[in-house]
Amino acid sequence: MRQFMQYVISGLATGSIYALVALGLALIYRSTRILNFAHGDMATAGTFVAFSLLGMNLAPIISFPLAILSGSALAMLFYFAILVPAQRRNATPLGQIILTVGLGLILQGLISYLWGTDTKTLDFPLSDTKLWRFQGLVISELGLGTFVIGLLGSGLLYLLVQKTRLGIAMRATSENLPAAQTLGIPTRMILSLSWGLAAGLSVLAGVFLAPALLLDPFFMLEPFLKGFAAAILGGLNSLPGAILGGLILGVAESLAGGYITIAFKNTLAFLIIIVILMVRHEGLLGTEFKERV
């Protein structure tokens, strides 16, 4: 039983990061109906900004918020400079998705040019080797910090969307864009803020993943795919579903790696997703999207 709980705790720490990535994807999808395939590359760019700022001897308490803001600014710039003109020219949803793929490839090239392709380590204030013990269970300082930050970031975003005037405007815009415009809501600005918040969450995930992984231009590829899978599992239009999907995926991977084999942990996680989608095609907490015409 103790071993089982150890695997669950490790899985929750990883799953909280998947939840941050999934939240960003779900936030963009529910507001614009676009799947952002540059999401992981935006996180990589922001993480490299943090790497550079730390290299300039700036404190983490300054470097990390600036890195998150840089990722948010990049996403908002992409929305205003690329997506809005494309939408004015009646670009199809598929065409807009292809634009995000193109952005991802551009960012990969820029990151490789500016920082090189060799692996780097991020100087992080939390240690992956310092362990905390409680009732026979062990978790690293980095793992504990990752779990707390993941849940805190997820919870704050949920409260923002559900309990603030900005959140009400975001929900109104996502549910009925023409009606929101009629009510005087600045929908373009609201949608750009959704992109900015989503990118900020992804950079936060990248900053906490980088110490446990080797930092290179493609280090967020697998976490992005896991976050995408978590968003599908929980429901692409459900923020609570994204959080739940991320935690379930993290725990499933940890249990599969511990009880079966490391090589099978990814397979089992996606098998769970397939089974759940066969029962509920909209995900665990997702709802069927109905567009008003």
The predicted pLDDT at position 191 comes to: 94
Output phi, psi for 134, to 5 deg.
Answer: -150, 120
The predicted pLDDT at position 95 comes to: 93
Output the six-digit token pair for 236: 């692409």
- pTM (2 d.p.): 0.91
Closest to 12 (Cα-Cα) out of 161, 135, 137, 197: 137
Cα gap 52→82, rounded to integer Å:
27
The predicted pLDDT at position 51 comes to: 94
> What structural domains and CATH numbers belong to the chain?
2-279 (1.10.3470)
Taking the CA of residue 104 as centre, how many other CA atoms within 13 Å lie in the half-sphere pointing to its CB? 19
Cα gap 207→66, rounded to integer Å:
12
The predicted pLDDT at position 202 comes to: 94
The predicted pLDDT at position 291 comes to: 53
Cα gap 239→99, rounded to integer Å:
24
The predicted pLDDT at position 260 comes to: 79
Q: Is the distance from CB of 196 to CB of 18 less than 8 angstroms?
A: no
Cα gap 98→72, rounded to integer Å:
20
pLDDT tens for the chain, residues 1 to 293: 778 888 888 899 899 999 999 999 999 998 888 999 999 999 999 999 999 999 999 999 999 999 999 999 999 999 999 999 999 999 998 999 999 999 999 999 999 999 998 989 888 888 877 878 777 778 888 888 999 998 899 889 988 988 899 989 998 988 888 888 888 889 999 999 999 999 999 999 999 999 888 899 999 998 998 899 899 888 888 889 999 999 999 998 888 888 877 777 777 767 777 887 788 878 888 776 555 54
Output phi, psi for 273, to 5 deg.
Answer: -60, -45
The predicted pLDDT at position 290 comes to: 56
The predicted pLDDT at position 58 comes to: 92
Q: Answer left, alpha or beta for residue 292, where phi above 0 means left and psi between -120 and 50 means alpha.
A: beta
For 145, other C-beta atoms within 10 Å of its C-beta total 18
Closest to 213 (Cα-Cα) out of 106, 121, 289, 99: 121
Closest to 269 (Cα-Cα) out of 218, 222, 220: 222
The predicted pLDDT at position 125 comes to: 85
Closest to 26 (Cα-Cα) out of 293, 291, 282, 276: 282
CA 67 to chain centre: 15
Unique residue bearing structure tokens 């676009």: 34
The predicted pLDDT at position 258 comes to: 81
**Which amino acid appears at position 233 of this protein?**
L
The predicted pLDDT at position 269 comes to: 67
Cα gap 38→100, rounded to integer Å:
5
282 secondary structure, DSSP code: T
